[in-house]
Copies of this chain bind each other. A is one copy, B any other.
């Protein structure tokens, strides 16, 4: 039999996917599985986006433009302007999800054997994009005790090698919920300029910041024009994960030129989704206000309820809609499986995402889980109650 590629063998499996069969088996037994594990918001997509697709009058579903239409990119610059980011349309390449933007960014800056530095825990699919590009992830550990704040900049600098091409951050963070301050971003900026690296920021959760804090984009810093690559997406902002529309933004024309070559090979982003995404830009500010309020309430409920469980340590999220919790268990992976296989209370159980998959360093995060608060408050309360009961029952 012909052989699979080395990188194909090394491609990581989603850390959640291996739990899915257990969740399905539980559901078959009639157990109500409450999902704390997924990043799919339950929030309704803005009407204006849904209607634009329903009312489309296309007769031929044609290719869209490789890098996105001028109209859509112009409108995106207007959106970014309201967020303090000044752009030209030509500094934006529209992509098939933030995923593709990340993939193009890595392909444009790194060859097989090159390295990128990422603070861990991080979004597990960064491993996939890195592996697919033959790129090695070098992790810098952040800590639940400091809410996963930026680790000391010296710990980044000490990991820079001749193969290092970029530092990659997610801001606000998935899975941490941490929102980097302007000062933290400035430290990273100074470091990448000093060592002539790229700084890639995944800002797909940029709208979701709490307690009056504001998101600060790497594109707001002067002097970073050659270094900054920003990745964005409509998925979370408008609760339209299924659209698969994102973008890559950079003021470095070489980056844009290169990314467009990768984009040409795949022809174009999906046309219907572009109709929805362009219309979504008309979403009234009241929509975001209501959504943020909802997430803040959920977060508060979650923090309070988790805080009451003995032995549970929680990082308080300032953005996004995830929270990392350290549980009083040895192996959160085994616990998550046990929840689905062996536990139920009054016909219900919960599914959590074991956090080890968000760390690159073996052994880190073994007792942590990621909880997504993308479900209604009553379900959330019930889920934490179940978790409490389960932890009291469970024996490592």
Q: Which A residues contact B (CB, under 8 angstroms)? A: 1-9, 11-14, 17, 40-45, 49-50, 53-56, 58-64, 96-97, 99-100, 103, 107-112, 114, 125, 128-129, 132, 134, 165-166, 192, 196-198, 226-227, 239-244, 252, 254-255, 258, 261-262, 264-273, 276
Contact = CB atoms under 8 A, between A and B. Distances in A.
27 contacts: A1-B196, A1-B254, A2-B109, A4-B109, A4-B255, A4-B258, A5-B108, A5-B109, A8-B258, A8-B261, A17-B264, A41-B60, A45-B60, A45-B61, A53-B53, A54-B54, A61-B276, A63-B241, A63-B242, A96-B244, A97-B266, A99-B265, A112-B134, A125-B266, A125-B267, A128-B261, A271-B273
A43 B60 CA distance: 7
A53 B50 contact: no
For the complex, would chain A's binding face be called helix, strand, loop or mixed by DSSP majority? loop
B62 A5 contact: no
Contact of A56 (B41, B54, B166, B269): B54
Contacts of A255: 4
> 8 closest pairs, A vs B, by CB?
A128-B265, A242-B271, A272-B272, A11-B261, A270-B270, A61-B240, A8-B258, A244-B270
Contact of A8 (B2, B99, B109, B128): B109
A103 B265 CA distance: 10
